[in-house]
Amino acid sequence: MAEPATEAAVNSEPAPSKPSVVVVHHLEDARSQRVLWLLEELNVPYEVKKYKRTPQRLAPKELFDVHPLGKSPVITVGALTLAESGAIVEYVIKKYGDGKAEVKESGWVDNLYFTHYAEGSVQPLLVRRLVFKLLPQRVPALVRPIIKNVMTKADSLMNAPDLKKHGDLIEAHLAKTNLWFAGGENPTSADYMMGFTLEILANRAPEFTGPKTMEYVKRMQARPAYQRVKLHAKLNHNHNL
């Protein structure tokens, strides 16, 4: 007959490991709000590790220690390190979504398109407009008025026409869905990617930001989860740098 297990033998089994906390590595004035809003909406425990830019507005060495490109946002979950906002959003939804960011079949293509459209099409234009605005501030005062005039003309020729096209496209789509980008009752990956982009659009290109787009931004900003990001993470993104 086998002897009964002793108390020591019973207690020798390893305790179940705690799930890894999502760590969001945030570089000053980077685009981490998307990820944090998503984590708040899904009630996923997370920590924020902040990094200040160098005097040259570059990423510090400590962020390169996390990811070889020194980009932000980056998340670490246990041994996993993942960069790129779109990849992070899709990973978090798949791993922690539990149906909360589910897309209806009727909105699947719209969700796919706008999830990738945010960084692929609109954000580069908004960054270029910002560069054109900042460049005159980085040259000697003597030539600053000349460079400013050149950059203003370049913006009107290179940025404004495309920003108008994108502003019109976004406005027409939101007029059609009348709520979220995929047309459902809750935000999906398209919204987590587009929301921050539309905040930037409203700030840097208000002349191309329509009323439906502004309604969308205000609706997003009013959500309790988004408010918690502002309150707890204190990521006061300087849209104008």
- ∠ CA 161-167-172, nearest 5°, is 130
- Examine residue 145 and say whether the peptide bond preceding it is cis (omega within 30 degrees of 0): no
| Region 105-223: CATH code | 1.20.1050
pTM of the model: 0.87
Closest to 233 measured CA to CA, from 11, 1, 38: 38
pLDDT of residue 56: 84
Closest to 104 measured CA to CA, from 175, 181, 13, 32: 181
Q: Please give the order of strands across the beta sheet that includes 22-27.
A: 46-51, 22-27, 74-77, 80-83
Q: Give dist(CA 148, CA 199) in Å, integer.
A: 25
How many H helices and E strands in the chain? 11, 4
Q: pLDDT tens for residues 62-119?
A: 999 999 999 899 999 999 999 999 999 999 999 999 999 999 999 999 999 999 999 9
Parts of the chain belonging to CATH 3.40.30.10: 22-97
Give the CB-side neighbour count of residue 119, counting CA atoms within 13 A: 15
Mean pLDDT of 193-198: 97
Mean pLDDT of 117-146: 95
Q: Is the pLDDT of residue 198 over 70?
A: yes
Cβ–Cβ < 8 Å for 221, 229: no
- ∠ CA 27-91-188, nearest 5°, is 95
Parts of the chain belonging to CATH 1.20.1050: 105-223
Backbone φ, ψ for residue 76 (5° rounding):
-125, 135
pLDDT of residue 129: 97
Task: Output the six-digit token pair for 237.
Answer: 């993104």
Q: Does domain 22-97 have CATH number 3.40.30.10?
A: yes
Q: pLDDT tens for residues 28-71?
A: 988 899 999 999 999 999 999 999 999 888 899 999 999 999 98
Percent of the chain exceeding pLDDT 70 equals 88
